[in-house]
Structures are given as structure tokens and as C-alpha cells.
Chains A and B, each alone.
Chain A
Amino acid sequence: MNGQPFRNPSGGLIDRARPLSFTFNGRRHAGYAGDTLASALLANGVRLVARSFKYHRPRGIVGAGAEEPNALVQLREGAATEPDTRATQVELFDGLVAKSQNCWPSVGFDLGALAGLLASALPAGFYYKTFMWPASWWPTYEHHIRRIAGMGEAPRDRDPDRYDYRHAHCDVLVVGGGPAGLAAALAAGRTGARVILVDEGAALGGSLLGEQAVIDGRPALAWVEETVGALAAMPDVLLLRRATAFAYNDHDMLAIVERRFDHMASPPPFETRQRLWLVRAERVVLATGAIERPIVFAENDRPGVMLVSAARAYANRYAVRAGSRAVVFTNNDSAYGAALDLARAGIEVAAMVDVRPDGGEAARRARAAGIRVLAAHGVLAAHGGRSVEAVSVAPIDGTGRAAGRAERIDCDLVCLSGGWNPAIHLFSQSGGRARYEPAIAAFVPGTSVQAERSVGAARGSFALADALAEGLAAGATGAAEAGFGDGAVPPAPGIDRAVEAPMRPLWAVHGVGSKRAKRFVDFQNDVTAADIALAVREGYRSVEHVKRYTTLGMGTDQGKLGNIQGLAILSGLVGADIPAVGTTTFRPPYTPVAFGAIIGHATGADFDPVRRTPMYDWHVRRGAPFVNTGLWKRAQVFPRPGETVLETIGREARAVRTSVGFVDVSTLGKIDIQGGDAAELLDRLYINNWKKLAVGKARYGIMLREDGMVFDDGTTTRLAEDHFFMTTTTANAVRVMSMLEYVHQVHWPELEVHMTSVSEQWAGVAIAGPNARNVLSRLTSDIDVGNEALPYMGCAEGTVAGLPARVFRISFSGEMAYEVNVPSDYGAAIMDAIMAAGEPFDIIPYGTEALNVLRIEKGHFVVGPEADGRTTPDDLGLSGMVSKTKDFIGKRSLSRPALTDPERKQLVGLLTVDPGERIPRGAQIVEDPSHPLPCPMVGQVTSTCFSPNLGRSIALALVKRGRSRYGERLYAASPVAGRTVEVTVVHHVFIDPKGERLRV
């Protein structure tokens, strides 16, 4: 620990009663509550904090906020580490640990700086011109490039913190808690409107926190305190501190990240680290302030070169001297007030270098205060290595060229003000186009396209009086537009207005001397003025080309400091005005946002919601593992101790064929359809006929898409003349329901029919096997389950196990089967009852694996592998179902040439020629496996299993002209499995092709 040599003994907004200790690059330092990491480092005299991306040049702190391009650190350690963190926005906390990144072995002595020696061979875009020979070496080159690039280290472990997520609505959303934003919130809040005020800082006040302004004759901070107090007392005003509005989306939806506990070592127990707010606002006030810009000159990246506003904020807000002897370089008035603040803070201001011939009143006051003012001068170059030691200053002409002898001025701090850029990022994100304002040489918001207004410095009104007046007006008007108040603007507080001399645009000083001297435009990416010139020379003249070729503005600061300089330099090179050269559109986010914050709690197992059937717990109790089917969790198998999965599947599938088993089928989609035209609707949807289906009977149906491809299948039962109960596949339950609603509401609204999804109202269980009737008959007294009363494809309503139930005599397994539906709440009860009733028959529950084996044995196609969205009814051998007498969705497509092509793939079965072999999954079917590549394929295995009932491997496949190939030998080739198996083409129904078992 040391004594914070650059901290003044008094002043600032820090809490000297709360000293804090932190570690930077392994050294312990002291700071105070209220510090940022940057201010604390400066207080301790730490000026070299980072190395640049490309040349590994030593870098210091340039800004005091979101604009910081250099001072990126690796914050925290282990799983909580955060790379690329701006020291200027890290609130200091006790025990904070940070280190410099992208340097080895240390930030002071970085071997990466050797890149600087090669710099002359590494101009912008050098990588496009080399590393091409020999071609085979590129992966090696690239390997090393990747290691040298990157910046911080990503954590390797799961994030220890949690995040949450809120939606909110408000009448007026105010972004920015500086003078304009506070005024807007106050004016809007007084009307009773719901107001949300968002500011990225821990304290409200914005620029006032770093300056020494006066409002109503008192220190401005007194006005801030009073205003914040008034806002806090309003019940419908929400103040969000440490919150960045980072995205302005369509229809006035803003995304805001609130860093709730980043200012602590870790969040308190049960608290989330950050919270995402999605706010839909009736009106938005953008009071996002402005960002000061530097001026380009030779070696302008030396540590100690800083924005004037930053040095001023460090002095006023943190009582930190960013150096001992400063040269202030400006092209506008704002730096003069700052220079006086610096002097008051004990920094010797060696010179004010003003590019303007006459700094006006401000310059006169500075001179009066004893500061040397060099008018019509510029800084040509900075000198020094790991810290700036001096600058060369000379008279300059209007274009920024040296026009006289240079003078060397010793200094350890160079403060720059090249004017101010309104922070129009959110305005630009809202879809608005920026307009160039020559008076301030900056882009300002143009015409609004969404319900926002920019006020204060964000629209180029830099005077405090204007900021307050515009804020009040925007707040009152916005509230009125949202229905609150009459729009009357409250009176503005009194401000002394200084007479300002106009700024004079100057982007870069063109010195004399070494051409090798680097003049940085983008600090983080090491883009120099020469790089931009090279891009233009090579024909990359569009601003986007310059950006992409040189990487200007592509750093984590997104060019907040450098973009406009780059644009201006480009405009000079191509001889066009800045607005003609263009601006770049700002894209979200304003500042980088942690992924964790954007997703809230939707991570890990909560990535997507989970759907569980009513029998889920019942399955859990029986030790079933689950598989994902869409969002559903379905029981896979019901293993017995000592069984392998394959043994379990075999046992379950055999039990169904030999005695009885039961399976949870609750995931099937279920749609209740009622109305006089219900049968008509089904007729138009399904490929087969429905009007003559008798009440109490079920029918299997297939639906197509309008392009003729099989979409879904299922059984639908007529419960009454005007009442049907449709089932769909699990996968398509949602889509079929939407399709029904679509065809009814869009195509045929005249049909009198209503439909509703009842998927979750009914629990479904299928009892299948030769003993299914015996089991069911023990469970019901009011339903005759005999083959005559309830034949195959019959339906009955009554009670099962004392529960209200519908019983459908339908089968997926090919065995005699009953599907029992009971209200969802009875899902577990019906399982227990069936289990008990089936005990004499050794009934077993079975899972999705046995279900799949049984259906493959039976040759049932399913949506997915067989009906893959590219198969017609005829491909699946179902052309007999297709009605010739009516239209239905997709029918017209079936007669298109490609759909009647005799070469189409058709559903067949496959058996291995050697019964001991297994058909590889996902195999392709070839006629000649020794054919050189590319090897023609005639089909593919769609589903395969070991059939426990046939004792051999079987498969379903889609094969060209498959139905004409029965008996033909082909090969199931799986190069990825390294196996090719000879197979015989057979009919796709392996068990009970006549369907007798169903009907017994």
C-alpha cells in the first residue's frame, strides 16, 4: 500500500471515510468508496495500464467513462473473471483484483511490443497480402495469429452469478441522468406520468458530477440532489442507476442492463448480478450527453494523453491529479473551464494550446489566471515511452500543418479537446438518420422516426441552460403526448450564460519529421492516419471499406473516440465534405453487455421450458430415464435391475406381442372439433373421406401440406354428428392446430366449426397386447370392451377404474390395443389402476424405445424419419387412401410431374442377408458399394432396430422404385460407422401384414 500520491487531501465526491484496498497486476493499492478503478489507479500514480491490440504499445487511461479505448483490464479471477473490462466504468470495491491483459510477461515489459519493430511491414490489411505461400502453412500462421490476437482471457468455468429479466411499460423513458435527463424526468414526473430514468453511473448528475457548474446561484450538485430527491418521492417514477440503455429496438422497446451488484465483490446471497429490463415506452427522451474527442498528432497514444473532460472529472469528482504538469490542447472553449479546474486541483497547466487564433473571453480569463495560452498553435507530437514526458508545440495553419518553429514543453499530462460528439447512438439505433452540424463539426440527431426526442448535449446543445430547458420541455411534452399534463413547460432554473467563441474543427495535426511516427486514430485497434491513407490509396474509399480494411472503430469501444476523426481524415483524402463521405450507422449495443444478462435465468436446464406428462412422476418412481421429444420429457424404458437398455427394450417389446403392456401417450396432440361443418372441414384437410364416418368410430387420417408432402397423421373419432376428436403427432401438435385455424379462418371462414386444443386436458395411455382386453375389462363395468361392442376403430365413453374416460380401440403397435383417455389430473391414478389390473397377465409399462420397435415391426411410418417433409402418400404406400372424389389440402400438388415420377423413393422394409448382422443407423442404400466416389445412392435407411420378436435386425427405408424391388439385394452403407451390410428389400410390414391381431 502507498499513500495515493496523486490524491488531493480534500474535495471530490469520494467517501474518504471508506478506504478500500485493491490489487492491480499483483500490487496492492488503496482507494476510496466512490472511486472507479481508473481514478484509483491514477491516484496511485499507475499510468501504464494496458497494451494495445496490434503493436502492443504502452497505453494509459484516456477517458473517464464509456468511451475508454485503452484501459481494458482483466477484472476478477477464476470463474468470475471478466476480460476486456473498462477500468473507467468499474466501481472500486474492497478486495478488487484486476490485471493488464494482452501482454507478457508484464505490462511494463511486454515481449509483444516486438511487433512494434515490425510495424512498418504490418500496415492496415497486411494479412490480405501475405501468409499465402506456401498454402499449406496458413494453418500454422493462423494458429500463431490467433494466439497473438484476442485480448483478455475468457473464464473457463460456469458463471457463478445469476441474472434476471424484467418487462416494463412506462409513459416517458428518460435515458441519461445528467442535467437534461433529470430536468426531463422532473417535468414528466410532475404530471403523474409513469417515468423511468436510466443512467449508467452509480450517481445521477452526469456531466455535473465532473464539473463545477452553478444552477440558481448554487453549486449544481445541490440542484441535482434536490431534483433526485423530488423524483424519488414520486410514486410512479423509477430511477435506475448503474443501468445502460444499450439497444433501441422497434416500436420504442429499449433494452437496459442494470448492473445491480458489480460494484461489490459478489452479489449478496440470493441476489442476481445484473438485470435486463425490456421497457416499452410511450415516449422516450434521449439525454445521453456528448463524448469529447481527441485530436490526432504524432505519438498521441502515450500514457498521460487524455481527454480534457476526463482529467477534469478525475480532478473534480475523484480529487485525483491525472498528472503534475499539463498541456491542454483544444479547439473549443470547453477546455478552458476545465483547465482552471485542473489548476485549482493543483495541476500545473504549462500551456493552453488553442488551434484558434482567438480563444475569446475564455482565453482572456485563462490568461488572467496566469495560464500561458498559445493561440493558433497545435501539438505536433508527444514524447516519451511508457509515459508522456513532453510535447512539441508549434504554430499551425488552418489545415493543421505546422507553420513555425516547434517548442518542446515538458509535461506528464496532455489533455485534448477536439470538440464534442453528441452521443446519438440510441437515436441512430431507433432508425433515425444523423445530420451533420457544421457549427459543432459533429453529427446530431436528424428527423425522428420513433417516439423519441433528443435533448441537451445529445442533440448538440452543449450549454447547461439549453440542456435544462430542452429537458424540461421534452419531459412535459412527452408526458402530455402520453396523456399526462397539459404540456406546460416548468420554468427553467437560472443559469449564467457565458459568451462562447465558436469551435474550430481540427482533426489532426500534420507535423513534420519522421514518417514512421504513428498518429493514432483508433487507439484500441492501432489504426493510424497512415492506415486510412493507405486504404484510400488502394481504393477502399467508402467509409465502410475504410473501417473494414483498417479495423477502424471495430474495437470494444466501437469507435466512440476515433470514428469521427477517421471520417474527417477520409473526407480530406477523398476531397469530399464529411456528410458526403457519410457516417456509420450505430448498432446495438451502446456498450458491450454480458451474455448472462441478456438471457436472464434461461440457461442450463432452464434453456427451454420442459413439458411433462401427467404421468411424469409415475415414471420417475419406476426409475425410467427420459428422452427429449421436442419440449417433452418422455419415459424411454422401464429398466429392471441388471438389465442392459437393449435387454429392457427387448423385454418390453416382447411383452406387448405376447401378453400386454401399457404406455403413456399423453404427448399426442388432441383437438376437439365441433360444429355443423366439422366433417366438411376434416374432408378438406385429410386425404381420405370423413363425412360418412359413423358416430362412435375412429378413422386414421393423413394431412398434407399444400405442396403435396405428408404433413401429419393420426386418428380422429366422431363423438357425435357434429363433434370430432382429433389426435396429431406429438411433434406437430402445435402446427396442426395452427393449420386448422388457418384453413378455417383464412380459406373457409364460412364453415360453421370451432376447434380447441385439448392436448393438456387429457392423459392418454395405450394398453396393447393380446391380453389388453382382459386387463381393460377388469377396470370397467359400464363399457363393453368386447370385440363386437368395441371393435377395432371403435370408441366408447364411460368409466375406467372409476374415472371418467374415453376408450378408443386403436393401435400403433399392431396388437389389439385400447387407448384410454382420462382427465389429466388422473394420469397417475389410471397408471396405477392398469398396473394393478394387469398383474395377473404380467403387465409391464413400456417406454418410447419399445414403442418405436413395435411400430417399426408393424411398418408404421412416423413423421420425421419416413415422412421427412419430402414424401407423398404414394411414397409411403398409401395412395389407396387418397380420395379421388374431393379436394383437400395438397391434392392438386400430387399430380405435378415430380410427384408422379416413377423414380421416386418408396417405403420398403429391409432385412439383412446375414440374419446375424445389424443394419447401421442412418445408412444410405447403394446398389454397388465398390462404385468409385461419388457413389450413386438409391435410398436411405429411415428407421432401424433389432426386432426382438423376429430375432433379427430390421429397417424401414425409402428406396427408389422400392416396391418394384422386393427380393432385390442392395447394400446399406454407413461410411461414418465403417460398415456396409448386404440387405434384401421386403415389404415394410414385418409383423401381421393382414392386420389380424388388431381385430381379435
Chain B
Amino acid sequence: MLLIRCPHCGPRNQDEFAYGGDATVKRPADPASASDSEWHAYIYVRDNPRGPHEELWHHAAGCRRWIRVRRDTLSHRILATGPVHGPLAEEEGR
């Protein structure tokens, strides 16, 4: 079970969190002017790296904040965590 450091609460077990997927997805500023293809990319196309991945987690059974986590999808090692909009703090250890 992962140990995720919530920037607001500290390290917590994975089961307090819900996964939110790719954190790099940006909602088009003006959806009406987005092409079908651009809109499709926003809805359906995600970063899916084999390695470090920027992702969102929701501290659902905690502070209810969405947070950003950089996690290696191959080793499950957590490299950095932080708020959704803000600097990530590097993690040591796990």
C-alpha cells in the first residue's frame, strides 16, 4: 500500500485517497472554439508514461483537497508531492 504525503496533512495510507489521473490535462480556456480533435485530446488522451507520472489524488478521507503527486509508474516510488497549483516538494525515501 502506498504511503502518500498529503501536503496539508502529512503522510497517509493510500486508502485515504482517491485517484484522479493525469495532472497535466488542461481544460481548454474556450471550449466553444476548440476543434473536435482538440476537445477529444482534452477528454480522452492522457499522459501514460512508463516512469515518472504527474497525477492527481483526492484526499477524500482526509482534508478533501486534491493534490499533485509525481510517482514512478514502474517502481511506485513517490518522487514529489504538492498542492494542485504550486511547487512540488521532492520526497526522499519510499
Measured CB to CB, the residues of A under 8 A from B are 249-253, 278, 280, 431, 449-451, 706-707, 738, 741-742, 745-747, 749, 887, 891-893, 896-897
Which of A431, A746, A747, A891 makes the CB contact (< 8 A) with B75? A431
Cross-chain pairs A/B with CB under 8 angstroms, 20 sampled: A249-B1, A250-B94, A251-B78, A251-B94, A253-B1, A280-B13, A451-B93, A707-B43, A738-B58, A741-B66, A745-B65, A746-B20, A746-B56, A747-B27, A749-B84, A887-B30, A892-B32, A892-B34, A892-B39, A896-B39
Tell me whether A253 and B3 are in contact (CB under 8 A).
yes
**Chain A residues with CB below 8 A from B84, complex form:** 745-746, 749
Complex Cα distance, B78 from A252, in Å, reads 13
Tell me whether B18 and A706 are in contact (CB under 8 A).
no
In B36-86, which residues have CB < 8 Å from any A CB? 36, 39, 42-43, 56, 58, 60, 64-66, 75-78, 84-85
Complex Cα distance, B77 from A431, in Å, reads 11
Complex Cα distance, B30 from A741, in Å, reads 21
B27 to chain A, nearest CB (A): 5
The 8 A CB mask of B1-38 against A (1 = contact, 0 = none) is 11100000000010000101000000110111010100
Tell me whether B66 and A742 are in contact (CB under 8 A).
yes
Interface size on B, residues (CB 8 A): 30
Q: A252-B94, A450-B94 are in contact. List 11 more A-B contacts (CB 8 A).
A: A251-B76, A251-B94, A280-B1, A280-B13, A451-B93, A738-B18, A741-B58, A745-B66, A746-B66, A747-B27, A892-B34
**Chain B residues with CB below 8 A from A250, complex form:** 1-2, 76, 94
A309 to chain B, nearest CB (A): 35
**Chain A residues with CB below 8 A from B39, complex form:** 892-893, 896
**Chain B residues with CB below 8 A from A887, complex form:** 30-32
The 10 closest A-B pairs by CB, nearest first: A892-B31, A251-B94, A251-B3, A745-B66, A250-B76, A253-B1, A892-B39, A747-B27, A251-B2, A746-B84
Measured CB to CB, the residues of B under 8 A from A are 1-3, 13, 18, 20, 27-28, 30-32, 34, 36, 39, 42-43, 56, 58, 60, 64-66, 75-78, 84-85, 93-94
**Chain A residues with CB below 8 A from B65, complex form:** 741, 745
Complex Cα distance, B28 from A706, in Å, reads 12
Tell me whether A449 and B75 are in contact (CB under 8 A).
yes
Complex Cα distance, B2 from A253, in Å, reads 8
Complex Cα distance, B76 from A897, in Å, reads 40
Tell me whether A280 and B60 are in contact (CB under 8 A).
no
Q: Which residue of A lies closest to B76 (CB)?
A: A250
Complex Cα distance, B67 from A435, in Å, reads 38
Complex Cα distance, B18 from A741, in Å, reads 12
**Chain B residues with CB below 8 A from A449, complex form:** 75, 77
**Chain B residues with CB below 8 A from A738, complex form:** 18, 58, 60
Q: Which residue of B lies closest to A481 (CB)?
A: B93
**Chain A residues with CB below 8 A from B43, complex form:** 706-707, 893
A479 to chain B, nearest CB (A): 16
Tell me whether B76 and A891 are in contact (CB under 8 A).
no
**Chain A residues with CB below 8 A from B30, complex form:** 887
A990 to chain B, nearest CB (A): 36
**Chain B residues with CB below 8 A from A252, complex form:** 3, 94
Tell me whether B1 and A742 are in contact (CB under 8 A).
no
Q: Which residue of A lies closest to B66 (CB)?
A: A745
Complex Cα distance, B66 from A290, in Å, reads 46
**Chain A residues with CB below 8 A from B27, complex form:** 747
**Chain B residues with CB below 8 A from A747, complex form:** 27
Q: Which residue of A lies closest to B68 (CB)?
A: A746
Complex Cα distance, B30 from A706, in Å, reads 14
A454 to chain B, nearest CB (A): 18
Complex Cα distance, B36 from A598, in Å, reads 48
**Chain B residues with CB below 8 A from A706, complex form:** 42-43
A677 to chain B, nearest CB (A): 17
**Chain A residues with CB below 8 A from B77, complex form:** 449
A258 to chain B, nearest CB (A): 19
B31 to chain A, nearest CB (A): 4
Tell me whether B18 and A749 are in contact (CB under 8 A).
no
Complex Cα distance, B58 from A893, in Å, reads 25
Chain B CB within 10 Å — which of A251, A252, A278 has the most?
Answer: A251
Complex Cα distance, B2 from A450, in Å, reads 12
Complex Cα distance, B77 from A707, in Å, reads 32
B63 to chain A, nearest CB (A): 10
Complex Cα distance, B1 from A253, in Å, reads 6
Complex Cα distance, B34 from A209, in Å, reads 74
A588 to chain B, nearest CB (A): 13
**Chain B residues with CB below 8 A from A893, complex form:** 39, 43
**Chain B residues with CB below 8 A from A745, complex form:** 65-66, 84
B68 to chain A, nearest CB (A): 9
Q: Which residue of A lies closest to B23 (CB)?
A: A746
Complex Cα distance, B27 from A741, in Å, reads 15
Complex Cα distance, B65 from A745, in Å, reads 8
Contact A896:B36 (CB < 8 A) given known A451-B94, A745-B84? yes
Tell me whether A251 and B66 are in contact (CB under 8 A).
no
Tell me whether B1 and A278 are in contact (CB under 8 A).
yes
Tell me whether A741 and B64 are in contact (CB under 8 A).
yes
Complex Cα distance, B43 from A666, in Å, reads 34
Complex Cα distance, B44 from A707, in Å, reads 9
**Chain B residues with CB below 8 A from A746, complex form:** 20, 56, 66, 84
A752 to chain B, nearest CB (A): 15
A16 to chain B, nearest CB (A): 46
Complex Cα distance, B84 from A149, in Å, reads 55
**Chain A residues with CB below 8 A from B76, complex form:** 250-251
**Chain A residues with CB below 8 A from B13, complex form:** 280
**Chain A residues with CB below 8 A from B78, complex form:** 251
Complex Cα distance, B94 from A681, in Å, reads 38
Q: Which residue of B lies closest to A896 (CB)?
A: B36
Which of B1, B18, B34, B36 makes the CB contact (< 8 A) with A251? B1
Q: Which residue of B lies closest to A735 (CB)?
A: B18
Complex Cα distance, B76 from A450, in Å, reads 11
**Chain A residues with CB below 8 A from B42, complex form:** 706
A726 to chain B, nearest CB (A): 16
**Chain A residues with CB below 8 A from B31, complex form:** 887, 891-892
Complex Cα distance, B64 from A749, in Å, reads 14
Contact A280:B3 (CB < 8 A) given known A251-B94, A741-B64? yes
**Chain B residues with CB below 8 A from A253, complex form:** 1, 3
Q: Which residue of B lies closest to A888 (CB)?
A: B31
A799 to chain B, nearest CB (A): 32
Q: Which residue of B lies closest to A891 (CB)?
A: B31
**Chain A residues with CB below 8 A from B34, complex form:** 892
Tell me whether A742 and B20 are in contact (CB under 8 A).
yes
Q: Which residue of A lies closest to B20 (CB)?
A: A742
Complex Cα distance, B58 from A738, in Å, reads 8
B71 to chain A, nearest CB (A): 10
Complex Cα distance, B13 from A538, in Å, reads 48
Complex Cα distance, B34 from A452, in Å, reads 51
Q: Which residue of A lies closest to B42 (CB)?
A: A706
Chain A CB within 10 Å — which of B1, B20, B32 has the most?
Answer: B1
**Chain A residues with CB below 8 A from B64, complex form:** 741
A402 to chain B, nearest CB (A): 49
B5 to chain A, nearest CB (A): 11
Tell me whether B58 and A742 are in contact (CB under 8 A).
yes
**Chain A residues with CB below 8 A from B36, complex form:** 896-897
Q: Which residue of A lies closest to B26 (CB)?
A: A747
**Chain A residues with CB below 8 A from B58, complex form:** 738, 741-742
